[in-house]
Structure 1
Amino acid sequence: MFHELIILSLLCLVAARRAEQFNESLNVKLPIFTVQGAVSDNSSSVRVFRGIPYAEPPLGDLRFRPPVTKKPVSGIIDATKYKNICPIWNQGGPSVYSEYITGDQPYSYLEQGEDCLHVNIWTPINATYHSNLTVMIWIHGGGNTGGNAAQPFKEGTFIAQNQNVIVVSLDYRLNIFGYPGYVPAFGGSNLNPGQLDIRKAVEWTYTYIRFFGGNPESMVLFGQSAGGANVDYYSYAWSTDPLVKGFISESGVAGSFGNFDLPGNNWTYVVDHFNCTGNQDQQLKCLQEVPWKDLIDLSYSYNTTLNDGKKLSFGPQPDNQTIFSDYNDLRRRGQYAKGGYLTGNNANEGESLITPFSETSGPNQTLVYVQSDLLFNCASNSSATERSDNETPQWRYYYRGINLENVAHESWLTFVSGEIPLIWGTAETWGGNKLGGPNTPEEAAFSRYIQKAWATFAKDPINGLSSLGWPTYNINENTLIQLAYNGSTIPQFVNPVVADENCTLPGHSA
């Protein structure tokens, strides 16, 4: 009996030590602070660190200005839960996203707030400082007016687990907070602090990702819609010092969505609305002191009809630092980072953008086709063609997964970010949407394939996709990678005219 007690005590000590070591594995000590993570809700083989600050909170005098490097913090930062998401502008009422794809919405318990400059990190549970894993950095979409990095469809567990990589997502300032436009006090500089937030997050990741098991010399950016455009913007703004080796732009490239309000009329409207008087510096100081909720509330109370049809919108503006006015010219001259590029979009992109829509018949299909060509097909064509002409490693895909029931089961709903839950592997784990449910065998197989393709590119942006048999893009050959057509898990290599037959717009290849 005595010996049994000794053995039991030893077993308890071993178990306690293992538990202690396991808990220690959830803490990562950085030179500036220690963060406490958690085991992923979806897999015991993945750690997740949510809401790690990468910059000082952009409050008070820092509102509208470039981000400031995060200062050291004593103690342990709780990174077990998401933090505030950045304030969201009026999104114009119900949409396909709010009504159907609720997995694209933030978790309901989250609050908005200006203290929102955070990264989230998913890493294999056993990754160490010397693991040197590839890092995939995600930039969310939302038109640069909404969206966030705490969305169920973009939960990085399955990519990290299945592909043995590290996934990072980031929040950046949106709408007037991230894109105030022409602020007189700034003299034409730093018009897009939201883009500078993205750069700051990449710099933070480059500096500290080794502590989570990542290799700073093997990082790529990927993003969708406005996030895809932001990925592309980044490649021009930091062309000589990108810190990343490759770029994936899903459903958006530089120039896809245009720019807003270059003269600064909307800034002036907001200044006048809040009675901010005095010189340009005093006006700026005044708006920096307005509660953030009041600024957001203005977006809901603003009446376009009463203002001669003018929208109160804030988005990327050309300042020749982070955003440029002529991307076609820059591409032709090769003025961009020379990593590998994977660019593409989905069939009928406009399905998710046209409002109002009918739940039975969907949005106006004529407008859908125009939007799909103007903003996506033709923009992807132009970007990929001009880069391939410069002998940049360039691949272009065309996702046509309209028969994948789990992500597009309405007869008219042929897009709506349909590739995202398949790439992230979250299509069936998030049940709080009108879609969702168990994957079909075809969806499961395609999800595994496309996730592997994205990770293969990330690990080797120059040659990785060639190892899968994907041809580099040439507008005159069958090099458009058609994905999920008629539910197929095998890509077809087709002529770009499949997507681009209407691309005769000025400034685009045809």
Structure 2
Amino acid sequence: MFLPALLLIHLSNFIYFSTASPVDEVPRNPVADALRATPTARIDAGVIIGTTTTVQGATAAVNQFLGIPYASAPTGTARFSPPRPPAAWNATLDTKKSKSSCIQVFREYLEEIFGGPKETESEDCLYLNVFSPRKEWNVAKPSLPILYWLHPGGSTFGNIAQPMYDGSHFAALEDVIIVTVQYRLDVFGFPQSPDISNLTERNLGLLDQRAGLDWIHRNIKNFGGDASRITVFGASFGGASTDALVASYPADSEPPFHAAILMSGGYAWFAYQQCNDSDYTPWTTFANALNCTSLECVKGKSAADIKAVRRNQPFFFGPACDNITYVQDPRLRKQAGNFARVPVMLGSSTGDGSYFIAVVGADVDAYFTTFFPGLTGLKTRAMAAYPIGSGGRVDNFTQLSEIHTDWNFRCPSFFNAQDSAKFVPTYRYLYNATFPNTRQTNPNITAIWPLKYQGAWHTSELADVFSTFAAAYPSVDAPPEEKALSDIVRGAWAAFAKDPEKAPVEGWARVGGVDTDVLSFGTDGESGVGTVKDLIGKCNIWKDFLEANHL
């Protein structure tokens, strides 16, 4: 049954899609009723139409609006320009399918690890997806909290079409709205060109993320969301982007979000974040490969030519320290309390470093020469603190994996949490679960990363957060233990979004000087949950290095 379009538009200003009549005498099935109508919403640029799906165990269906433009296409003369609002449309816009990914480098990583998707890439990629519970609500007083997802990928790859980031289960089972956003990547998102004198305009990917936040504030009421209850959450570079948002808003400001979740990624305390925005060697090398000497020349090249050049270049295009979207001194700001005063939840995984060792190799001397050149004293202290034969370290691979996990992820999270906890409610977690379906069995991967080394690898918790293990890992069924843990993890993230002042899990203490203030998801490597002692001693080994190599 389809209601007339004008009536739907009128109703959307008051109650979002009630298909039951107030004079009905027969009890109605809300899920069945929801499926009788196609979800439509009016946003500031026009009317959109989506789809509805059901989730086992949920009391409400879920409306999916996929591929909503939150900015105009950054193509042609708009390449390397800040995001601009999309042009309004008159006809109803179909938002039933995710749009193209942003152009990226190392896309093969996604396809190897997660099996796709193999959708097209395009510069026209500034879209977001909205997953909202299908239920009655008063548009004058929307109440649902929103979780705004910033995907991982090191600022070089990633997209929201990954089956792992389908927000349907999360939205339906926890009564929240999930918004996932695409942002420009690599040189398209972070063009560190000397011809761009305004450093903020070199951080287009971060500006895209902020434009998505602004879209939520303008439009989320039309999906039942309360714009005063936005939690930004992200993993890896998405976590760093989230932390960059937290650090960039002064303590006396009103940030456009009310809480933040940092998952195996952060900005404050993360090593090698020195600001050197006048080193144009990567850009010059890139432009020369295109036979260009100016930004205008690069603008005139095809996206395919740019991607082809970038595939063969080893250097990195990331954010510039403009002190607006990406501040120069996040650690010092945190310690001084000059950051967004919002509750924070942050954590890491026990095997965050394992894949990186698979890539760089397990030669101890080569590893320390690469990451800590000249720091022989640090090497000596580290080798003494992480001896083979104890703590599960059986060889150089497991030894270096733990070392890389600690200085790159777990200890920055520890110090970041200690700084934040002095000013805002802060909760810290550790993900320590491993399940058969998350093992990477592709021969191309196991050749360098054998199954025995994988463990709770970097971002492996995402399928449990979104409860998308069936879609993310379709070849092996999720065991009951993972489903049980997913209910706890997803519930914790949702509870924090709903009320970040309260403990997301009963018994989870705020960070604040107690050495057992870390909640472990998977204390037994599976579904157990409990508190664990922190790594204060080991993290102190890395403290001086992290401080010296951040600014």
Alignment of 1:182-221 (within 5 A): 182-221=193-232
Deviation at 1:218, TM superposition (A): 1.0
**Distance (whole Å) between structure 2 residues aligned to residue 264 and residue 334 of structure 1:** 33
SS in 2 for 1:406: helix
In percent, how many aligned pairs have the same letter? Answer: 26
Deviation at 1:187, TM superposition (A): 4.4
Other-structure match for 1:115: 124
Aligned-partner residue type, residue 493 of structure 1: T
User: Which of 534, 540, 544 in structure 2 is aligned with 1:496?
Assistant: 534
**Distance (whole Å) between structure 2 residues aligned to residue 350 and residue 430 of structure 1:** 21
**Distance (whole Å) between structure 1 residues aligned to residue 432 and residue 66 of structure 2:** 33
Change (3 A) 1:189 1:52: closer
Change (3 A) 1:486 1:502: farther
**Over residues 453-502 of structure 1, what are the superposed CA-to-partner deviations in whole Å (9 max), with x where a residue is unaligned?**
1100000112242x622100124431111221114544322221289556
User: Which of 443, 451, 454 in structure 1 is aligned with 2:493?
Assistant: 454
Q: Are the counterparts in 2 of residues 362 and 413 from structure 1 also a CA contact under 8 Å? A: no
Change (3 A) 1:180 1:138: same
Change (3 A) 1:84 1:216: same
1:378 aligns with 2:387: no
User: Which of 32, 46, 61 in structure 1 is aligned with 2:45?
Assistant: 32
Change (3 A) 1:58 1:489: same
Q: When the two structures are superposed, what TM-score results if normalisation uses the length of structure 1?
A: 0.84
Aligned-partner residue type, residue 88 of structure 2: P
**Distance (whole Å) between structure 1 residues aligned to residue 508 and residue 124 of structure 2:** 42
Aligned-partner residue type, residue 120 of structure 1: N
Change (3 A) 1:111 1:41: farther
- 4+ residue runs over 4 A deviation: 18-25, 41-44, 498-503
Q: Are the counterparts in 1 of residues 290 and 306 from structure 2 also a CA contact under 8 Å? A: no
Aligned-partner residue type, residue 478 of structure 1: T
SS in 2 for 1:34: strand
Q: When the two structures are superposed, what TM-score results if normalisation uses the length of structure 2?
A: 0.78
Aligned-partner residue type, residue 162 of structure 1: L
Deviation at 1:62, TM superposition (A): 1.9
Other-structure match for 2:518: 480
1:392 aligns with 2:424: yes
**Over residues 295-319 of structure 1, what are the superposed CA-to-partner deviations in whole Å (9 max), with x where a residue is unaligned?**
11102233xxxxxxxx322112212
User: Which of 188, 193, 198 in structure 2 is aligned with 1:177?
Assistant: 188
**Distance (whole Å) between structure 1 residues aligned to residue 360 and residue 517 of structure 2:** 34
Alignment of 1:38-437 (within 5 A): 38-40=51-53, 45-90=61-106, 98-102=111-115, 105=116, 107-108=117-118, 110-128=119-137, 129=139, 130-239=141-250, 240-255=253-268, 256=270, 258-259=272-273, 262=277, 263-277=279-293, 283-302=294-313, 311-356=314-359, 364-388=397-421, 390-402=422-434, 404-408=435-439, 410-416=451-457, 417-432=459-474, 436-437=476-477
- RMSD of equivalent CA atoms: 2.8
Change (3 A) 1:29 1:189: closer
Q: Are the counterparts in 2 of residues 182 and 188 from structure 1 also a CA contact under 8 Å? A: no
Change (3 A) 1:258 1:181: farther
Q: Are the counterparts in 1 of residues 44 and 218 from structure 2 also a CA contact under 8 Å? A: no
Deviation at 1:238, TM superposition (A): 3.4
Change (3 A) 1:289 1:82: same
Q: Are the counterparts in 1 of residues 196 and 202 from structure 2 also a CA contact under 8 Å? A: no
Q: Are the counterparts in 2 of residues 224 and 252 from structure 1 also a CA contact under 8 Å? A: yes
**Distance (whole Å) between structure 2 residues aligned to residue 24 and residue 257 of structure 1:** 51
Deviation at 1:98, TM superposition (A): 4.1
Deviation at 1:421, TM superposition (A): 0.6
SS in 2 for 1:469: coil
Q: Are the counterparts in 1 of residues 43 and 219 from structure 2 also a CA contact under 8 Å? A: yes
Q: Are the counterparts in 1 of residues 199 and 320 from structure 2 also a CA contact under 8 Å? A: no
**Over residues 70-97 of structure 1, what are the superposed CA-to-partner deviations in whole Å (9 max), with x where a residue is unaligned?**
2322211110001011001136x6x5x5
**Distance (whole Å) between structure 1 residues aligned to residue 112 and residue 124 of structure 2:** 28
**Distance (whole Å) between structure 2 residues aligned to residue 257 and residue 296 of structure 1:** 28
**Distance (whole Å) between structure 2 residues aligned to residue 21 and residue 99 of structure 1:** 37
**Over residues 293-351 of structure 1, what are the superposed CA-to-partner deviations in whole Å (9 max), with x where a residue is unaligned?**
1111102233xxxxxxxx32211221212112222111111121111100100002012
SS in 2 for 1:223: strand
**Distance (whole Å) between structure 2 residues aligned to residue 420 and residue 363 of structure 1:** 28
Change (3 A) 1:322 1:214: same
